[in-house]
Structure 1
Amino acid sequence: MTRIATHGSVVVAAHGTRDPAGVAVAHQLVDALRARLLGRPVSLAFVDVLGPTVREVVAAAPGPVTVVPAFLSSGYHVRTDVPREVIATGRRDVSVSTALGPHPLLVGAMWDRLCAAGWRRGDAVVLAAAGSSDPRAVAEVRIAAAQLSGKVGGRVRVAFVATGAPRVASLVAGLRAAGEARIAVAPWLLAPGLFYRRLGLAEADVVSAPLGVHPDVIDRLVELAEPVAVRRTA
């Protein structure tokens, strides 16, 4: 395990959900990151649905502050909401990292979840993302799908749960009608919640778990929390 010794605090900015299991995952991610940062203050803030807000947490955090957007692509929340909340604090000692994804570490976590759920070679694979109206975020989802295809050894199709087309259920139905014997859905989602529950209605043969508190997710958070820090092996 690699730990990081440096100064300042970290604020992890998550989306927020009313699902208690999803909230628990957000707290578990922050706890795991805190354990890797040698006692540095690490706090959790939410961009939507829940509080405390990014503005509130950043305003109270000891400086300098690194804000890590825990999102799998750089959509509206990452490009607009998080920077706006930081600017509203009036602080000048705050930096915002890039989004959590896409990144090969996260694709590795998704691959582990898919294998654990029962993926078989030859299954048709669908990467299921929340979706975004920002074409740059959609392009990032397709990057993740291309990386997953290298592990699957075949094509990985992209579908969306909430915004964009095709929707997951429609794509699964189309693949079934085209004669695919088995269909596996790999959620490009960080935590359980409404979007993940909707995947259960798609009637796929396999639906893997969200990325959750996978070791590779924690490694990626560490990279973003202090990308230029001096590292040492515990």
Structure 2
Amino acid sequence: MIPLVAVAHGSRDPRSAASIHSLLAVVRSLRPELDVRGCFLDLCAPRLTDVLHGPSVVVPLLLGKAYHARVDVPAAVAESRVPAVVTPVLGPDPRLESAALRRLSEAGVDFDDRSLGVVLAGAGSSHAPANEAVAAVARRWARQSAWAGVEAAFASIASPSVPEAVARLRARGARRIAVASWFLAPGLLPDKVSAAAGDALVAAPLGNDVEVAQLVLDRYDEALARQTVAA
């Protein structure tokens, strides 16, 4: 069976790698017969080139198609010189939204609170379509929820910032604020979001949510199906 090689960005924060390994433990529990290998693009080991030893399906553990997905992952696969197929990133997908909403619920958010404003906080990118994908989720939540409003915000590069999004929500009448996480794992940028959120409720990153784990497997299965058709 062709291995599933899951590659995350990587962080100096040990919580990040621990969260990725926890997610992959759920992936393995869903498909025990599958060889699932975890690795990172940078800052911690093992690297992608350390675990690519033959035909593989590489699943980027990235929520959006920004620089790492468009440049870093393909470059690392090319460097390995093995016949590996790279799948699309995890997002967009409704299961990511479900996971983010579950994390909000775990943080104590009342989904029927009409005075609540929700900030959906992501990393931010110089690649505008990656930011727009997060904003599209926020607009969808705004249409579908009873909340006073939902705003996308970004930890770096893009705008609005978390404080700017909070100010917009308060101007629209929100009396309480919650921050939803559009991050897979803890680290520098999620910590920056938490620090900027003030007294708001802040949800945890998506982490080892079972729907995220299933999404990783679906990306793998879809890649295998495409290869079979192509063959």
Q: What TM-score, normalized by structure 1, do the two folds share?
A: 0.86
The Cα offsets for residues 156-212 of structure 1, whole Å up to 9 and x where unpaired, read as 211101121111123224534664211111010111111121222221421111111
The counterpart of 1:205, out of the listed 200, 203, 219, is: 200
Q: Which amino acid aligns with 1:99?
A: V
Aligned equivalents of 2:94, 2:127: Cα separation in 1: 22
Q: Secondary structure at the match of 1:226?
A: helix
The CA deviation at 1:84 is 0.7
Does residue 117 (structure 1) correspond to residue 117 (structure 2)? The answer is no
Inter-partner Cα distance in structure 2 for 1:196 and 1:19: 11
Within the candidate set 30, 49, 56, 2:50 is matched to 56
Whole-Å Cα distance in 2 between the matches of residues 146 and 213 of structure 1? Answer: 25
Deviation at 1:152, TM superposition (A): 2.6
Mapped partners of 1:86, 1:31: distance in 2: 23
Q: In the alignment, what sits opposite 1:68?
A: 59
Contact 2:24 2:208 in 1 (8 A): no
Does the aligned pair in 1 maintain the 2:59–2:89 contact within 8 Å?
A: yes
Say yes or no: does 1:133 pair with 2:149.
no
Equivalent of residue 218 in structure 2, options 216, 223, 230:
223
Instruction: Show CA shifts across 1:59-85 (max 9, x none).
Output: x2xx43000000110000001100011
Residues of 2 paired with 1:178 and 1:146: CA distance? 15
**Distance across 2 between alignment mates of 1:197 and 1:141:** 19
Deviation track 1:203-229 (CA, whole Å, cap 9, x = no partner) reads: 142111111111111111110121276
After superposition, the CA RMSD in angstroms is 2.0
Q: Does 1:8 align with 2:2?
A: yes
Amino acid at match of 2:212: V
Query: Quick check: 1:183 aligned with 2:183?
Result: no
TM-score in terms of structure 2 length: 0.87
Structure holding more helix per residue? 2
- Cα-to-partner distance string for 1:127-166 (whole Å, 9 max, x where unaligned): 0001000112112212332343355345421110112111
Specify the SS of the correspondent of 2:222.
coil
SS at match of 1:137: helix
Indicate the percent of aligned positions where both proteins have the same amino acid: 36
Q: CA deviation at 1:48?
A: 2.2
Partner of 1:88: 79
The answer on whether the counterparts of 1:172 and 1:203 sit within 8 Å (CA) in structure 2 is no
Decide whether the 8 Å contact of 1:124 with 1:180 is kept in 2: yes
Q: Among residues 6, 21, 25, which one is paired with 1:31 in the alignment? A: 25
Are the counterparts in 1 of residues 26 and 210 from structure 2 also a CA contact under 8 Å? no
- Per-residue deviation, 1:18: 1.7
SS in 1 for 2:175: coil
Which of 21, 24, 27 is the aligned partner of 2:15?
21
Letter of the structure 2 residue corresponding to residue 97 of structure 1: T
